[in-house]
Amino acid sequence: MEKIKVFVVGPSVGYSRFIENKKLVNNIEEAEVVLFTGGEDINPSLYNKRAHHSTWYTQSRDDFEVENYKKVREDQLIVGICRGAQLACALNGGILIQDCNGHGGCRHNITNGVETYEIQSIHHQMMYPWDMPKEDYSILFWSDKKRSKTYEGDGVDPSKVSCEPEIIMFHKKGHPKTLAIQGHPEMSMDSNVVDMINTIIKENIC
């Protein structure tokens, strides 16, 4: 079986450890999958909002990753992990909940209403796609229960938070398809969530 060619944006190649049968490549042009990794928050100016007092970011990293995002072709698949998922949400027209709780340093269940998987969670921000056109995204998995008691951030309406999204597929016209994973599959190697995510990746490689 031919290996999946993966380009990791930035030096943190360990985030790719959950992707099965892969070959890391050094050129974004060669890749079938372009992986954006976890880390600090992103600048809310990327989605035209004011920063919450808990938000912290590195502008040089934002600039570097946005530059790489613009290089991804529509026939390539983006996979975003944690911060990478949040960046994808912003660049596809969504915003972020800039502060929530109940998701920092724990493992919890995610579900699609039929299947349930356990994944590591380490985040205080969260994707907020509800002001986007419905045809631009699909929430594939969400937290099996609402874990946060508060949803804060410029532009966030807590009444719209119908679930806590964990895996979203962004498919905005003119943008590369993006699998945005809020949790950390690379920290959940003993969970069958890894097999499930790899199945989605394989199904979406052109």
pLDDT of the chain, 206 residues: tens digit per residue:
799 999 999 999 999 999 999 999 999 999 999 999 999 999 999 999 999 999 999 999 999 999 999 999 999 999 999 999 999 999 999 999 999 999 988 899 999 999 999 999 999 999 999 999 999 999 999 999 999 999 999 999 999 999 999 999 999 999 999 999 999 999 999 999 999 999 999 999 96
pTM: 0.96
- For position 206, what pLDDT does the model report? 66
CA-CA-CA-CA torsion sign (28, 12, 41, 78): positive
pLDDT score at 1? 72
Task: Give pLDDT, residue 105.
Answer: 85
Nearest Cα to Cα of residue 31 among 75, 90, 93: 75
Pairing type for strands 178-181 and 77-81 reads parallel
- Give the start-to-end residue ranges of the domains of the chain: 4-203
Q: How far apart are the first and last CA of the chain?
A: 16
152 touches 90 (CB < 8 A): no
CATH 3.30.450.20 fits 4-203, yes or no: no
